[in-house]
Amino acid sequence: MTNSADLPISDLALLLQWEGSLSNARIRDLFDVKSVRASNMIKEFRDEHPTWLVHDSKTKAFYPSSDYLSHQRKHANRRHHADELARYLALVGLHYATQAKDEHHHLLCAHTDLTAPPPRPFAMLQSAAKGQRKVRITYRSMNHPEPHQRTISPHTLVRAGRRWHARAFCEEAGEFRDFSLGRISKVEELGQPSERYVSDDKPWQFFVKVTLVPHPELTPEQSLVIRAEYMAGAAALTETCRGALVKYFVQDMRAAVHTQQRPPEYQLAVSNIKEIEQWLFLK
């Protein structure tokens, strides 16, 4: 059972924000605590935010007050909302649509994670990155589909779209590259310190601005839809990401980078192609 003393009251703020209510039953179910502890958590939350909740005796739940809604509007921020939503989903879990066996899940992910890496190589690569150590991997790639060995010095594990990869210096290639964890069949500890570090990875250290706009071939009315969906009504959205990750960001956003990529498949486009094109072809 969850150690109730360790439950942060801030988690209740996530429930209120993203589910629109707080109840003893929901807290018991989510945190695996007794009714008394659930009631105490709500009391602690009300003591900290005395004007945020309104109780409904019929449903036996608490709902956002006008003061809370005013607070939310005052602090509305797209980036903050994205971070808070990520925290909420981590808190409650997100079921895959292909795994749902009943109708009680109100949050579903439409795709199944087919590239989740096995825990042991994931742990070994993460340990090597933290400890700045070399490892030998058995790897396959599209250019070299036969299993072969590489000696790498990983510095970061990255979730890019649906895949995980290790950003690492490759001794055979003599440069920093991305290695898909799904293509690594074996990881061996070498007991040797890395000779190249994250500070040496120039594409990783360089930050690039990517500007997204509605695809120019959309109608004016369609462009307004895209602006409302992605850009909070603005004409463009500029995001900053590491040079080594630009291609993944563009792919994830399904943003067009050349004229052959057209609606309806592509509803966004990169408007500053010349500034980012060198980053789209990194290995």
DSSP classification of residue 201: -
**For strand 53-56 and strand 95-96, is the pairing parallel, antiparallel, or unpaired?**
unpaired
The fold adopted by the segment(s) 4-109 is: Arc Repressor Mutant, subunit A (1.10.10)
Q: What pLDDT sits at residue 2?
A: 43
Asked if 134 and 193 touch (Cβ cutoff 8 Å), the reply is yes
**CA–CA separation, 178 and 125 (whole Å):** 13
Half-sphere exposure of 180 (CA within 13 A, CB side): 14
**CA–CA separation, 41 and 5 (whole Å):** 10
The fold adopted by the segment(s) 119-198 is: SH3 type barrels. (2.30.30)
| Residue 252, H or E segment | helix 246-253
Asked if 222 and 228 touch (Cβ cutoff 8 Å), the reply is no
User: Would you say how long the chain is, in residues?
Assistant: 283
**CA–CA separation, 70 and 123 (whole Å):** 44
Per-residue pLDDT of the chain (283 residues; tens, 9 = 90+): 444 445 678 899 999 999 999 999 999 999 999 999 999 999 999 999 999 999 999 999 999 999 999 998 888 777 777 888 888 988 888 776 666 555 556 777 776 677 788 888 999 999 999 999 999 999 999 999 999 999 999 999 998 888 899 999 999 999 999 999 999 999 999 999 999 999 999 999 999 999 999 999 999 999 999 999 999 999 999 999 999 999 999 999 999 999 999 999 999 999 999 999 999 987 7
SS3 14: helix
> 89 burial class (0-12, 13-18, 19+ CB within 10 angstroms)?
middle
Global model pTM greater than 0.85: no
Taking the domains of the chain in order of start, what are their residue ranges? 4-109, 119-198, 206-279
**CA–CA separation, 102 and 87 (whole Å):** 25
